[in-house]
Structure 1
Amino acid sequence: MALRVTFLGTAGAIPTTERNPSSIFVARAGDQLLFDAGEGTQRQMMRFGTGFSISNLFVTHLHGDHVLGIPGLVQTMAFNDREDPLTIHAPHGTRRQLESLVNALGNRPSFSVRINEVGDGDVAYRADEYEVRTFETDHDARSVGYALVEDDRKGRFDREHAESLGVPVGPKFSKLHRGESVELEDGTVVDPEQVVGEPRPGRSIVYTGDTRPATETIEVADEPDLLIHDATFADDRAERAGMTAHSTARQAAEIASRAGAKRLALMHLSSRYAGYTDDHLAEAREVYDGEVFLPEDGQALEIPYPDGGDVSSEADSSE
């Protein structure tokens, strides 16, 4: 089951010629999700080939560099004769502002747009085999972060052992893998525990939006495969980071280390660092041993399973 992240916009409040304001596209099988929609997001979606078939938009907060792309995106969807509804998830108390933003030009879109207000600890969206959770962040506006967390997968099916127990190749394999006991022709009962291993963890992605370092980021997911964290400033502007409710690259890396994150993406880079990111990376690597990178706009990343497992986890019953 492919899980792919595309960084559509990685800039801070002021875009640069190389970086668009914040927006992240996530595709999981047939589901397409968008996290924040800064100005020009629709163009980035065209430029990097993600398409517009998103079902859910998750907004961290209502600062312009995270939401000003919504009116244009909604209008483009309407021009494309969209009929499917769109749900926008956003912090409590922002519904009226978002409704005004969606209808900024005075014309209601041709499709349904639902606003779902969320707070700390909510499940903003529950889908088949995963959910998107919210967590508290520390910014100077009503804000939340989001964590996409997959359910545990079934344990590995030991086909060789099943056959040694006399289970015939076929539907009984699948029944065992689904957790059902099976009876053989001689009356012997084989239980799932005999041929199926322990559940295997799914994957997780944590996105903070804009925030000072926050403990809740550490607690929302167990050792996330990817942490996408505010790193607006380097150490040279650490005091300003605190004053403006942002983080430094070093602070983001400290959170990643405490969370046990496997990879760290440094986001929301201030325009003062345009063309120079060496300090961000060097300072982060001093406190974090995992893979750290500063994504470029358009960079795509495949998230593998933690155990290196393949896409399919079902017992083969086709023979």
Structure 2
Amino acid sequence: MSLLKLTFLGTSAAQPTLHRNLSGLAVKADTDLLLFDCGEGSQRQMVRFGTGFTVDAVFFTHFHADHYLGIIGFLRTLGMMGREHAIHLYGPPPARRLLHQAVHLGVEAMSFPIEIHEVKDGDVIRRDGYALHVVGVDHRINALAYALVEDGRPGRFNVEKARELGVPPGPSFGKLQKGEAVTLEDGRTVKPEDVLGPPRAGRRVVISGDTRPCAAVVNASKDADLLIHESTFSDDEQERAQETHHSTAREAAWVAREAGARRLILTHLSSRHDTDPAKLLNQAREEFKGPLEVAYDGLTLELPLRDE
């Protein structure tokens, strides 16, 4: 996988504001386009920020209304656009019941197949070049985080070493880079490990969904390239955070620090921090010293390969 691009469609908690839509994140993973949550208005945000509509799968963290009601209009729009191939919807129970109701709201049948999958903590969803690891979290209802984990890549190809061993440039180089042994004209065999450096780890992105700070997200975020963690409240709203099973910005930063995450983005902001999230940012910075920012609608970033 080469391209890993994220676009924040909505960064507000519970209710939309003039500046922030409800939860939604678009992830372009090579040719795949994935959505994580689909709050009301997500499809308009996709038009606004140019993500396109060729979505392969939608991953719901949980089924509070602000995280999934946008799927109703989104699916209808796909139908009007002439979609024919299936879309896959993933989420914790009761995904089948709730999403079935959403899919069939209205009088017209959908023009393309919709596959609904219930997933739980520990499940792994394989895709081409990467996998989605499902992580149970601590919220008021059944809720999940997702870790997008890229497959490891072969080590760097040592051209000089290959030439020294008599490997002719061209197709033989390509075979070795793909992990295939090559037999030379003199009968000798050159193995991939003869010319490749140590394997290189793939990228890891963790999306917390709504949760209290918890060990499960810490473990899933070990050495993550990016942790996207909800930060609904500030320090002076700690009691409210515990009552609603959300996190403060400081707690999100604690998770990132404990995990050794390389970068942290805060999202899912209470409306009181809508236009001025400086308090959240400052409190998080006291806990986490790595790259840190507060998401905003339209924030787009590409994660480079680890060795770039």
* Fold equivalence (TM over 0.5): yes
Deviations 1:100-151 (A, max 9, x none): 012222433111111100000101x311110111001111111111111001
Question: Counterpart amino acid of 1:285?
Answer: R
Distance 1:163 1:253 in 2: 49
Distance 2:222 2:164 in 1: 37
Counterpart of 2:216, as a letter, is E
Q: How does 1:1-319 map to 2 (within 5 A)?
A: 1-123=2-124, 125-308=125-308
Q: TM-score with structure 2 length normalisation?
A: 0.97
Local SS of the residue matching 1:13 = coil
Which has the higher mean CA deviation after the structures are superposed, 125-134 or 243-252?
125-134
Distance 1:39 1:299, change over 3 A: same
2:100 alignment partner, SS class: helix
Query: CA RMSD of the aligned region, Å?
Result: 1.1
Question: Which consecutive aligned stretches of 4+ in structure 1 deviate over 3 angstroms post-superposition?
Answer: none
TM-fit CA distance, 1:221 = 4.5
SS across alignment from 2:38: coil
Q: Distance in 2 between matches of 1:189 and 1:78?
A: 55
Structure 1: tracts of 5 or more residues without a match? 309-319
Report how far residue 173 of structure 1 moved.
Answer: 1.2
The answer to whether the 8 A contact 1:149-1:221 is kept is no
Residue 249 of structure 1 contacts residue 266 of structure 1 at CA under 8 Å; is this kept in 2? yes
Deviation of 1:274 (Å): 2.0
Partner Cα separation in structure 2 for residue 41 and residue 105 of structure 1: 19
Q: Is the 8 A contact 2:95 2:116 kept in 1?
A: no
Residues 144-203 of structure 1, C-alpha deviations (whole Å, 9 max, x = no match): 111110010011100111101111112211222222322222233322211111110111
Letter in 2 for 1:151: D
Cα distance between partner residues in 2 of 1:236 and 1:104: 41
Change (3 A) 1:285 1:263: same
| Structure-1 separation of matches of 2:274 and 2:173 | 56
List gaps (5 residues or longer) in structure 2: none
- Is residue 5–residue 301 contact of structure 1 (8 Å, CA) maintained in 2? yes
Contact 2:212/2:246, CA 8 A, preserved across alignment: yes
Higher mean C-alpha deviation, range 34-43 or range 215-224: 215-224
